[in-house]
């Protein structure tokens, strides 16, 4: 019997060592693989409610973060049909209803089990800023209907808000530098790192109602109202940023038309030097002066209809656009325009949104010299309406009408407004996308918000490893008892057989 027990102990010890070896292999060599099963992606939704249209951007990032900021990528972009939400001032319910098709699309992309924890935001820009100035009650009604529509979906809706001009500019700057990997980069050591000796880029944005400039200046910022501080990926950034309300393209060109009307000898006919020769349309006084950006004449006649005729005169067009700005800065002060402080532009810049579209249609976004850009635009602006329609048959009628004015407005804003020159012009890179991701403020907004989203993975890995070891210990104890008992029974049965012989 004693020999039987010794054999059982030996066999059971061998078996236990084998099981332990397998357990150690699974727990030590494969913990990362097990943890990866629990490392899921997170999603976020951001509505860009601009002055002329709204778009929904769907973002995704890993649950673990890099230096406090998630590595975010764009999954999808959905353009909302119709105008911007500020256009629904007299039909607030329409603003909410317009968002539903894009929300339906997002629900098909985000896994059902993660939808309720998906943070969802709506950021409105200059269009809603103007509506709030015009009629705060109507602005609140639009927001209420938008919130009501989004809240019907199984997402973590965190509110709709109007971004300040500085927020819009600085979030656009974050987007640009994130996409260019000047904030964080995946290194050869297979980890995310802040790149050394890398200059950040400035951001130039032109929307329908406002325009923004943001960059890291080479001198101290004198006006605290134009500075913003960010901490991203463990690094601090102090930026200059300013947003000019009413200097977005739609509002600026409306101001131009109103100025031409008020300077016109005939109060019923407007000769427009930026419209192609031969172009003609009728505009009501009510539509012309329906914006707080446009100063109405002392005795407006809303019912009056004006006839606008294009003259295609690039010289007069440029002069008329320049009159929209005040370029004087005053003594001992550097400024952009309208007396707003701005340090000298420095480094490389990305120009996007309207700045890109205004030059892209003439293939002028490929780094051409300023002289060539000027010549090309002037040639286009002398073309007749009949000729430009033949050259650009698929272009929207309104966009084609405004192409000359938009191009000259871009040059005036960048050169005389923001003080670029023939040399620094070559530092401006006109882009729409980088790595198939749209350039705008929404990605920067999402990146900044990830600082407030807790990281799950480290805790989940600890809990996973702890539970694995507990389960393995219990399992091994049970197996040890069972194997010992089994081998003891077998040994004793054989020993009884030998004794019977």
Quick one: tokens of 58?
A: 């769907």
Nearest-Å Rg of the Cα atoms of the chain is 33
| Residue 146 domain-assigned (yes or no) | yes
For this structure, is 168 an active site residue?
A: yes
Quick one: tokens of 479?
A: 């197996």
Dihedral, CA of residue 356, residue 358, residue 359 and residue 363, to nearest 10: 100
Which residue in the block uniquely carries the two structure tokens 């407006």?
Answer: 300
17: pLDDT strictly greater than 90: no
Structure confidence at residue 32 (pLDDT): 42
Measured in degrees and rounded to the nearest 5, phi and psi for residue 186 equal: -85, 120
Are residues 107 and 62 both part of a single domain?
Answer: yes
Q: First CA to last CA across the chain, in angstroms?
A: 16
| Residue 360 domain-assigned (yes or no) | no
| Residue 126 domain-assigned (yes or no) | yes
Q: How confident is the model at residue 248 (pLDDT cuts 50, 70, 90)?
A: very high
> CA–CA separation, 347 vs 428, rounded Å?
9
Return left, alpha or beta for 272; rule: phi > 0 is left, psi -120 to 50 is alpha, else beta: beta
Are residues 56 and 89 both part of a single domain?
Answer: yes
Residues 6+ apart with CB under 8 A from 180: 201, 350, 434
Structure confidence at residue 402 (pLDDT): 98
Strand segments, DSSP code E, in 390-461 are 428-430, 433-434, 437-438
| Residue 422 domain-assigned (yes or no) | no
Q: How confident is the model at residue 249 (pLDDT cuts 50, 70, 90)?
A: very high
Number of domains in the chain: 2
Structure confidence at residue 77 (pLDDT): 95
193: pLDDT strictly greater than 60: yes
| Residue 483 domain-assigned (yes or no) | yes
The residue with greater pLDDT, 364 or 196, is 364
Are residues 9 and 62 both part of a single domain?
Answer: no
167: pLDDT strictly greater than 70: yes
Are residues 21 and 47 both part of a single domain?
Answer: no
Other CB atoms closer than 10 Å to residue 97's CB: what's the count? 15
Structure confidence at residue 265 (pLDDT): 80
Catalytic residue among 66, 117, 168, 456: 168
Contact in structure between 124 and 49 (CB atoms under 8 Å): yes
Are residues 18 and 163 both part of a single domain?
Answer: no
Contact in structure between 167 and 121 (CB atoms under 8 Å): no
Are residues 90 and 19 both part of a single domain?
Answer: no
Strand partners, 74: 59
Q: Domain span at residue 214?
A: 42-244+444-454
Q: How confident is the model at residue 488 (pLDDT cuts 50, 70, 90)?
A: low
Q: How confident is the model at residue 68 (pLDDT cuts 50, 70, 90)?
A: low
DSSP-assigned states of every residue in 203-247:
EEEE-SSEEEEEE--SS--S-GGGEEEEEETTEEEEEEEEEEET-
Model-level pTM? Answer: 0.81
Residue 225: CATH number of its domain: 3.30.420.40
Q: How confident is the model at residue 189 (pLDDT cuts 50, 70, 90)?
A: low
Are residues 66 and 120 both part of a single domain?
Answer: yes
Give mean pLDDT, residues 470-483: 60
Are residues 194 and 145 both part of a single domain?
Answer: yes
Residues 6+ apart with CB under 8 A from 314: 273, 377, 378, 381, 382, 404, 408
| Residue 415 domain-assigned (yes or no) | no
Structure confidence at residue 458 (pLDDT): 37
Q: Alpha helix (H) ranges present in 90-135?
A: 92-109, 126-134
Are residues 177 and 200 both part of a single domain?
Answer: yes
Q: How confident is the model at residue 460 (pLDDT cuts 50, 70, 90)?
A: very low
DSSP three-state, residue 500:
helix
| Residue 417 domain-assigned (yes or no) | no
Q: What is the mean pLDDT of the chain?
A: 84
Are residues 232 and 169 both part of a single domain?
Answer: yes
Our separate counts of H helices and E strands in the chain read: 15, 18
What is the torsional sign of CA 153, 157, 159, 160?
negative
How do residues 390-430 score in pLDDT, each as one tens digit?
Answer: 999 999 999 999 999 999 999 999 999 999 999 999 999 99
Are residues 115 and 210 both part of a single domain?
Answer: yes
Quick one: tokens of 417?
A: 């407004």
Structure confidence at residue 35 (pLDDT): 42
Measured in degrees and rounded to the nearest 5, phi and psi for residue 275 equal: -85, 145
| Residue 184 domain-assigned (yes or no) | yes
From the list 202, 195, 197, 191, the residue with the least C-alpha distance to 181 is 195
Are residues 102 and 213 both part of a single domain?
Answer: yes
> CA–CA separation, 478 vs 466, rounded Å?
19
The residue with greater pLDDT, 496 or 403, is 403
Structure confidence at residue 472 (pLDDT): 52
452: pLDDT strictly greater than 60: no
The residue with greater pLDDT, 35 or 168, is 168
From the list 448, 403, 407, the residue with the least C-alpha distance to 430 is 407
Structure confidence at residue 451 (pLDDT): 64
Q: Select, from the ranges 70-79, 296-305, 468-477, the one with the highest average predicted confidence (pLDDT).
A: 70-79
């Amino acid at each position: 019997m004693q020999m039987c027990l010794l054999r059982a102990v030996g066999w059971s010890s061998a078996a236990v060592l084998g099981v332990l070896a397998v357990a150690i292999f699974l727990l030590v060599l494969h913990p990362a693989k097990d943890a990866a099963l629990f490392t899921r992606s997170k999603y976020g939704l951001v509505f860009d409610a601009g002055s002329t249209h709204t778009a929904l951007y769907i973002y995704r990032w890993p649950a673990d973060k890099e230096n406090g900021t998630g590595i975010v990528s764009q999954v999808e972009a959905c353009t909302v049909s119709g105008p911007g939400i500020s256009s629904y001032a007299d039909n607030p319910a329409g603003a909410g209803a317009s968002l539903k098709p894009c929300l339906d699309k997002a629900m098909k992309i985000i896994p059902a089990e993660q939808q309720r924890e998906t943070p969802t935001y709506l950021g409105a820009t200059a269009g809603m800023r103007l509506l709030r100035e015009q009629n705060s009650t109507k602005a609140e009604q639009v927001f209420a209907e938008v919130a009501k529509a989004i809240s019907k979906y199984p997402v973590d809706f965190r509110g709709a808000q109007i971004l300040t001009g500085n927020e819009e500019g600085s979030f656009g700057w974050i987007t640009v530098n994130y996409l260019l990997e000047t904030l964080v980069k995946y290194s050869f050591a297979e980890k995310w790192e802040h790149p050394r000796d890398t200059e950040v880029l400035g951001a130039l944005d032109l929307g329908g109602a406002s325009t923004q400039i943001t960059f890291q200046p080479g001198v101290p910022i004198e006006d605290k109202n134009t500075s913003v501080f960010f901490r991203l990926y463990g690094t601090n950034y102090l930026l200059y940023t300013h947003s000019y309300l009413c200097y977005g393209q739609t509002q600026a060109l409306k101001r131009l038309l109103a100025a031409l009307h008020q300077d016109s000898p005939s109060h019923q006919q407007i000769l427009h030097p930026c419209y192609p020769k031969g172009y003609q349309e009728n505009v009501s006084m009510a539509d012309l002066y329906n914006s707080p950006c446009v100063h109405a004449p002392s005795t407006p006649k809303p019912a009056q209809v004006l006839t606008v005729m294009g003259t295609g005169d690039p010289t007069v067009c440029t002069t008329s656009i320049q009159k929209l700005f005040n370029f004087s800065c005053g003594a001992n002060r550097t400024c952009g325009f309208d007396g707003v402080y701005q340090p000298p532009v420095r480094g490389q810049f990305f120009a996007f949104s309207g700045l890109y579209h205004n030059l892209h249609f003439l293939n002028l976004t490929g780094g051409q010299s300023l002289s060539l850009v000027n010549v090309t635009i002037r040639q286009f602006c002398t073309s007749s309406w009949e000729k430009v329609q033949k050259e650009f048959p698929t272009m929207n009628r309104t966009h084609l009408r405004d192409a000359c004015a938009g191009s000259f407005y871009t040059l005036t804003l960048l050169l005389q407004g923001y003080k670029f020159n023939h040399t620094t012009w070559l530092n401006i890179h006109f882009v729409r996308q980088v790595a198939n991701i749209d350039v705008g403020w929404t990605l920067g907004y999402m990146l900044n918000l990830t600082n407030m989203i807790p990281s799950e993975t480290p805790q989940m890995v600890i809990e996973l490893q702890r539970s694995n070891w507990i389960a393995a210990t219990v399992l091994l104890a049970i197996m040890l008892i069972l194997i010992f008992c089994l081998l003891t029974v077998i040994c004793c049965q054989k020993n009884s057989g030998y004794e019977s012989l």
